[in-house]
Amino acid sequence: MKLLSKKLLIICLLLSLVSVLGACSSDDADTANKVPLDPNSTAVHDPSVIKVNNTYWVFGSHLASGYSNDLISWEQYSSHVHDDNPLIPNVTEKLSAGLNWAQTNTLWAPDVIQLKADGKYYMYYNMCEGSSPRSALGVAVADNVDGPYKKKQLLLKSGMAGDNQDGTLYDAEIYPGEYHATQHPNVVDPDVFYDQNGKLWMVYGSYSGGIFILELDPATGMPKPGQGYGKKLLGGNHSRIEAPYVLYSPKTDYYYLFLSYGGLASDGGYNIRVARSKNPDGPYYDVQGHNMINAHGDTAFDDEAIEPYGAKLIGNFKFFESNLGYVSPGHNSAYYNQETRKMYVIFHTRYPGHGERHQVRSHQMLMNSKDWPVITPHNYTGEDVGVYSESDVVGTYQYVNHGKDIQTGDGNITKSKNIKLLADGTITGAVEGTWELTGDYTVNITINGNTYYGVFLEQLDRGLRENVMTFSALSNRGVTIWGSQIPQ
């Protein structure tokens, strides 16, 4: 098998170390740019969310997990792959087939869903060698969300070489043809979801041949026969796209496909993007109308080729006045609360000045006037959207433009600049333009001829320790801008 570049091996090694790094400070951190960690959060890398009764659970890489009753304060439940982990006791023995195939001793980003057919909890786990897409994906089942999960079956594997072409193990189905890493998926990063017609789907993939989707049997949670690896949605040629997650919005009747571009390390430029479709299995289009099937490079790790695709919702940033910011935010899940009609994005992030240390973040998302979700600037603390007047929103703001680039390299952080929203509808300061309230909380902001469609929301600024007005808006070019007000 032809191995991938050393770059992917480095990423894998960083991922295997990340839960350890999450528990300690980095001695060589850039103290000049250090921002405070959140004492209410915890370290779960690649958090996948599920709500059970009144508790939100997140499951992540290395069998780490945590829970929260409010999406604000988190408690750690498990961490590290060892035989006493309560999620899968004796994990090294029970999942030995997958671990041996993947030539690894750890697990990557899982997804947990409660099947309607039997009420049990299904964990779609996966493992990967790292310097190649030598991976395995399986399912384990538990009566309770916190385990213990018992292995049911391996479903898929990738990275076969030579005559070993059995891409899927389900019902002994043989994937047709030799495995090609630039065309076929790395079988990791699953997300399992129901569509509005009760069909069950699994979207998955990372780098390699791209992001794929399979239809599952809702009675068993197993892939339906005859699909091979499923239908390709985007990616290929080792384009740095991974962590797919699909969320349906009953407000807009769209399926939103969230993705992470770039690399997960603090200098990797991880960022969250989104596309949408009227069908769970696509095709998915971004805000510019690009069909996401074309989001791939002609050569490996060609970031410039994929940067134009997908609306970028958040990347590296720092609010200068608040001394708050993130680096490499990504690998998100998302949740829609049918009772409160609130929508959230849950992801991990690193912080300026803290090396590879990471925490779980929960931000509320709101729909703009064009039916695209935007991520609000500050971590969720229970805020509700309101009816805002001109007097509520005028003032000085810390302004960030997230752009469309993948911000690789140490210190590649967009730092805020100050602007003013004036009562006459103009914007002055670091950028100039106009703004206009278009509804109770929706706003159109025009800067340099580009209009951004967004929302206002009053939020707690943890750095300033005050409630402030914020805005988040997305342009038709797929660029997000944020503002966080500076109290006068």
Q: Which residues are catalytic?
A: 46, 242
Neighbours of 196 (CB within 10 A): 10
- CA angle 104-108-112, nearest 5°? 135
Q: Report the DSSP beta bridge partners of residue 419.
A: 397, 429
Best CA proximity match to 123, nearest among 160, 98, 158: 98
Residue ranges of the alpha helices (H) in 57-199? 91-94, 96-102
Q: Is 228 left (phi over 0), alpha (psi -120 to 50) or beta?
A: left
Helix, coil or strand: residue 430: coil
DSSP letter for 375, please.
E
CA–CA gap between residue 482 and residue 174 (Å, rounded): 49
Sign of CA dihedral 167, 173, 178, 184: negative
CB 441 within 8 A of CB 455: yes
Query: For residue 437, what are the β-bridge partners?
Result: 443
Residue with tokens 């590879």: 356
**Cis bond leading into 148, ω under 30°?**
yes
Integer CA distances (angstroms), 454 to 170, 324, 336, 369, 470, in order:
45, 22, 19, 7, 10
Asked if 409 and 428 count as a contact pair (C-beta separation under 8 A), the reply is: no
DSSP state of 186: P
CA distance 72 to 382: 8
Residue whose C-alpha is closest to residue 485's, from 446, 429, 440, 444: 429
The H or E element spanning position 243 is: strand 241-249
Residue 461, helix vs strand vs coil = strand
Q: Which two tokens stand for residue 336?
A: 């829609």
Return the structure tokens found at 204.
């998955």
Closest to 478 in 3D by CA, of 360, 312, 356: 312
Nearest to 214 by CA among 152, 156, 272: 156
